[in-house]
Amino acid sequence: MSTVTLNIKGKVAYLSLNRAHKYNALTQDMWHAIAQACDSLMQDRTVRVLVLKAEGQKAFCAGADIQELHEMLANPDAFSASNQIVQEAQQKLAALPFATIAQINGVCVGGGMGLAMCCDFRIAVNDATFAITPSKLGLLYSLADTKRLVDLVGLPRAKELLYLGKKINADTAHHWGLITQVVERASLSEATEALVQQILSVSGYSVSGTKRSLQYLGEMPSNDALDNEARLLRLFDDAFHGDDFKEGAAAFTQKRPARFS
């Protein structure tokens, strides 16, 4: 089976991560496949809902593939370049002109968090856990991901997650607004299907138009904001060549706590 599959059943598309034995960790090939699936969905006028799901019982997505991560940690330029396809895939997922649901069946960190936050709704099992950990590698969360996080949980809680790399449980994530609904594991598919049917019961034109309106309202930068964005993008890129990243990468590969100056 392919590591990423797209299946369409009537008006519902199912995009699945299929590396359960690797906690659905994302490779560059998988990010490309996600982007291509979104390109295909943009051309399909029949689809009204996308369910993003993952195989297995332990993880929705544990982030980057460890082998690729080790290789990239030794090559900051490759690490920086890999973020281009990550951001492209996430942007395409977020831009889909219909409702999207992340069905979260376990651990959700790193790229898994990025994917989930690109969806309109997030339904999680009650033993799922969530974390965002660039600070443990001396890196920054991307500007787009950071904005999505702040939009969901607010500035104070975003700081707690981003500064500390803090892991939270599903109940906390729900209370903070990071996820939409928490359910028992046995009820995950049923709860997702119930939401799908709710979406299908209302106007697809209204959902699509409202989604585009909300995206527009969230993307109206001032001139000052544009200047700040350019500076922040430079900070993001510079992080891959900084001393903290070198130490964070070394600590990760040596399986020890990082010693940042």
Closest CA to 117 of 69, 150, 164: 150
pLDDT given for residue 240 in this prediction: 74
Across the chain, what does the average pLDDT equal? 90
Global pTM value: 0.88
Distance in angstroms (rounded) separating the CA atoms of residues 116 and 24: 13
Hey, where are the domains in the chain? 4-199, 203-254
43-72 pLDDT per residue, tens = 999 999 999 999 999 999 998 887 887 787
Give the list of residues 6+ apart from residue 74 with CB closer than 8 angstroms, or none.
249, 253
Q: Spelled out in words, what is the top-level CATH class assigned to the domain 4-199?
A: alpha beta
Mean pLDDT of 25-53: 96
The answer to whether residue 235 scores a pLDDT higher than 80 is no
pLDDT at 232: 62
Task: Quickly tell me which residue has 């309109």 as its tokens.
Answer: 120
Is the distance from CB of 221 to CB of 121 less than 8 angstroms?
Answer: no
126-144 tens-digit pLDDT: 999 999 998 988 888 888 9
Report the range of poorest mean pLDDT among 18-22, 146-150, 237-241. Answer: 237-241
Model confidence at 88, pLDDT cuts 50, 70, 90, reads: very high
**Apex 110 CA angle, 87 and 19, nearest 5:** 95
- The side-by-side arrangement of strands in the sheet containing 181-183 is 4-9, 12-17, 49-54, 99-104, 121-125, 181-183
Average pLDDT of the segment spanning 93-115: 96
Asked whether 2 and 33 are in contact (CB, 8 A), the reply is: yes
DSSP 8-state assignment for residue 27: P
Residue whose entry in the numeric block shows the structure tokens 């700081």: 159
* Of 241 and 25, the one with more pLDDT: 25
Percent of residues, the chain, with pLDDT higher than 90 = 68
CA distances from 32 to 26, 38, 118 (A): 10, 10, 16
Distance CA 93, CA 146 (A): 16
Q: How far is CA 133 from CA 56, 139, 159, 250, in A?
A: 23, 9, 12, 15
Distance CA 61, CA 77 (A): 24
Output the pLDDT for position 154: 97
CB hemisphere CA count around 86 (13 angstroms)? 23
What residues contact residue 237 under an 8 Å CB cut-off, 6+ apart? 80
Q: What integer pLDDT is reported at residue 91 of this predicted model? A: 94
Strand partners, 100: 50
Q: How high is the pLDDT of residue 80? A: 73
SS3 for 3-26, per residue?
CEEEEEECCEEEEEECCHHHCCCE
* Residue pair 242/258 in contact by the 8 Å Cβ criterion: no
Q: List b or e across 82-95, with b for residues whose CB sees 16 or more CB atoms inside 10 angstroms.
A: bbebbbebbebbbe
